[in-house]
Amino acid sequence: MSSWRPQIDLARLLDALANEIVTTTEQEVRAAHGWDERAVQTAAKEIGRMIFGGRINLDDLGDPNETIVLVEPTMSRGPAHKQH
Amino acid sequence: MEECTERSGRLIVAVDNSADDVALAIHSLSDADLVRLKALAQLWVRGLPRGFSWSDVLHEAIARALDGSRKWPRGIPILAFLSGVMRSICEDQWRRERLEHEVLAREVDSADLCGIGDTAGSTTDPERAVGAAQSLAAINRLFAADPDALKIIAGLSDGLTAAEICRVYGMSEREYDTTRKRMRRALLRCGLDWSAS
Give me the tens of pLDDT residue by residue for chain B, a chain 197 residues long.
444 455 556 565 567 888 889 999 998 999 999 999 999 999 999 888 878 888 889 989 999 999 989 999 999 999 999 999 999 998 888 888 888 877 777 766 665 554 444 433 344 578 889 989 999 999 999 999 999 999 999 999 999 999 999 999 999 999 999 999 999 999 998 765 544 44
| Distance in Å, alpha carbon of A11 to nearest chain B alpha carbon | 7
Give the residue from A40, A13, A45 showing the smallest Cα distance to A28.
A40
Q: Give the residue from A10, A16, A22 showing the smallest Cα distance to B38.
A: A22
CB contacts under 8 A, A 9-28 vs B, are 9-18, 20-22, 24, 26, 28
* Contact between A24 and B77 using a beta-carbon 8 Å cutoff: no
Model confidence pTM above 0.90: no
Report ipTM (2 d.p.).
Answer: 0.80
